[in-house]
Chains A and B, each alone.
Chain A
Amino acid sequence: DTAVSQTPKYLVTQMGNDKSIKCEQNLGHDTMYWYKQDSKKFLKIMFSYNNKELIINETVPNRFSPKSPDKAHLNLHINSLELGDSAVYFCASSQARTGDFNEQFFGPGTRLTVL
Chain B
Amino acid sequence: RKEVEQDPGPFNVPEGATVAFNCTYSNSASQSFFWYRQDCRKEPKLLMSVYSSGNEDGRFTAQLNRASQYISLLIRDSKLSDSATYLCVFTGGGNKLTFGTGTQLKVEL
Residues of A at under 8 Å CB distance from B? 31, 33, 40-45, 48, 56, 90, 94, 96, 100-104, 106-109
Dominant SS among interface residues on chain A: loop
Binding site for A on B (CB under 8 A): 32, 34, 41-46, 49, 85, 87, 91, 95-99, 101-102
Give the docked Cα–Cα distance between A8 and B20 (Å). 37
- A45 CA to B97 CA in the complex, in Å? 7
Consensus secondary structure, chain B interface:
strand
Residues A108 and B101 in contact, CB atoms below 8 Å apart: no
Given contact pairs A40-B101, A43-B87, A104 touches B95 in the complex (Cβ within 8 A): yes
Interface hub of B41, B44, B91 (most chain A Cβ within 10 A): B44
Q: Is the CB of B95 within 8 A of A48?
A: yes
Q: Which residues of B contact A106 (CB under 8 A)?
A: 43-45
Other 11 A-B pairs with CB < 8 A, given A56-B96, A107-B43 = A33-B95, A42-B101, A43-B99, A45-B96, A45-B98, A94-B95, A101-B49, A104-B46, A104-B97, A108-B42, A108-B43
Q: Residue on A with the closest CB to B90?
A: A101
Nearest neighbor of B33 in chain A, beta-carbon distance: A101
A94 to B32, CA, bound (A): 16
Q: How far is the CA of A61 from the CA of B44 in the complex (A)?
A: 25
